[in-house]
Every structure is written in C-alpha cells, then in structure tokens.
C-alpha cells in the first residue's frame, strides 16, 4: 500500500498522504468506539433519567452534569496524564482517549435521547399505564418508536462533534490524523510545510464529517415534514 502511494505520488508526498490516510483510519475507529461505547452508557443513563426512581434520576443527572461541565480537553488530560500519575499506572494513549471520549459522548448523547423521549406526548405514558402496561413495555413499544424521529437527526449530528472531538486526542499522544499531520507540518521536509499539510488535513476531516452532517440535515428536514 505504502509503496503504491510512493510510486504514484513520489517522495515525500506519497509517504505523507499515506500516513495521513492511515491516521485518518484511527480517527474513524476512535470515533466509532466512542459512539458505540458512549451510546451504550447513554442508554443506561437515559433509562435512569426517565425512570420513576428519584435516586436513579439523581445519579444520572449528576453524571451528565459533571461530564458536560468539564471540557473534553480536560477529560483527555485527566485520563491521559492525571490518572497515570495519580494511581501510578500505565495508560496508553489509546485507552485514555477512548475513556475520555466515551465519557464525553455518553453524557451528551443521553441528553439528546432524554430530550427526544420527553418530546413524546405524556398522554402516551398515561394511555399505556391505563392499559396495564409496565414502564419498560411502554418505553419499548410506545415511547422509543415515537422518540426516534426526534432523536435520530441530532444523534447523527452529534457524531460529527465526536469526530471533531477526536482531534483533541493528539494532545495526549494519540497517533491520529491530527498528531501525524502536526508532526509533518513541523518537520523540515520540503513539501510538508504547514500551509500544505493543514489544508490537506482539513479536507480529510471535511470528507469524513460533511456526509454525516448532510445526512443529519436531511433527516431533520424529513422529520419536520412528517410532524
């Protein structure tokens, strides 16, 4: 693969492009992990938040409040640099970045989903209870299917935020698009000046994010039409 790039684009351009694309993959993987890992926790948080139990609601609220108030950059520092110092353990940049992004994602996503669930008419809960359905039955069969149309567009939109968020992980040494790009930009190799590298990286982020953003916008337009 690498050789092919060098052959076609020559040195050092082939190497630069290859390494950037390679690192771009990591960006995508990290985003996906953050999305699904964060999504799983968000699911639990949302469930707790809409439940009838005050203590569960409070726990979920506190978690969300805390992770929404701390900037992502701070979370990355805490996971990548703070935790290892504090507990005297080895934490790889991968692990640290994953934990930070999962925490960040879970808090925001559960807020999105809670909003979607609360957009569904309260009368649906009442009708469900009057028909002797249980909390989970109502949630699964009545509320979630209806909340979907409110939650889908902002969820896809938030994926864009996650992808952009991963770019901060370079700060703790995560070898993603950002770090590799910065390294090249700082190197004295001709053809890798910052004014070439950074626009190149911007284009790559754009290529990943734009289709998603577009899709989110389309979904939103569709759900507005349907209401």
Maximum C-alpha span of the chain: 73
DSSP string, 130-148: HTT--HHHHIIIIIHHHHH
What minimum distance in Å lies between the beta carbon of 45 and other proteins? Answer: 23
Q: Judged by CB under 8 A, how many residues of this single chain contact other proteins?
A: 16
Alpha helices in the chain (DSSP H): 2-9, 13-50, 54-69, 72-77, 83-87, 93-119, 122-130, 135-138, 144-166, 177-186, 194-226
Among 36, 53, 71, 121, binds other proteins (CB under 8 A): 121
Q: Which is nearer to other proteins, 141 or 217 (CB)?
A: 141
Q: Tell me, what DSSP letter sits at residue 3?
A: H
What minimum distance in Å lies between the beta carbon of 127 and other proteins? Answer: 4
What minimum distance in Å lies between the beta carbon of 149 and other proteins? Answer: 9
**Would you give the binding string for other proteins spanning residues 123-162, x where CB under 8 A is met?**
xx-xx-xxxxxx--x---xx--xx----------------
- Binding region for other proteins (CB under 8 A): 121, 123-124, 126-127, 129-134, 137, 141-142, 145-146
């Amino acid at each position: 693969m690498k050789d092919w790039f060098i052959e076609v684009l020559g040195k050092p351009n082939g190497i630069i492009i290859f390494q950037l694309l390679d690192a771009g993959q990591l960006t995508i993987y990290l985003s996906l992990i953050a999305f699904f890992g964060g999504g799983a926790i968000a699911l639990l948080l949302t469930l707790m938040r809409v439940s009838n139990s005050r203590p569960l609601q409070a726990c979920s609220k506190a978690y969300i409040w805390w992770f929404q108030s701390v900037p992502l950059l701070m979370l990355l520092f805490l996971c990548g640099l703070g935790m290892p110092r504090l507990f005297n353990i080895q934490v790889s940049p991968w692990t640290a970045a994953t934990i930070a992004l999962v925490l960040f994602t879970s808090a925001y996503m559960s807020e999105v989903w809670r909003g979607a669930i609360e957009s569904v008419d309260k009368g649906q809960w009442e009708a469900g209870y009057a028909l002797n359905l249980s909390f989970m039955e109502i949630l699964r069969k009545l509320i979630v299917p209806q909340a979907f149309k409110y939650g889908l567009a902002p969820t896809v939109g938030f994926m864009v935020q996650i992808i952009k968020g991963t770019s901060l992980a370079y700060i703790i040494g995560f070898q993603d698009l950002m770090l590799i790009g910065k390294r090249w930009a700082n190197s004295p190799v001709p053809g890798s000046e910052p004014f070439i590298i950074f626009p190149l990286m911007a284009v790559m982020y754009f290529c990943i994010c734009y289709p998603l953003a577009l899709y989110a916008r389309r979904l939103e337009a569709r759900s507005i039409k349907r209401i």
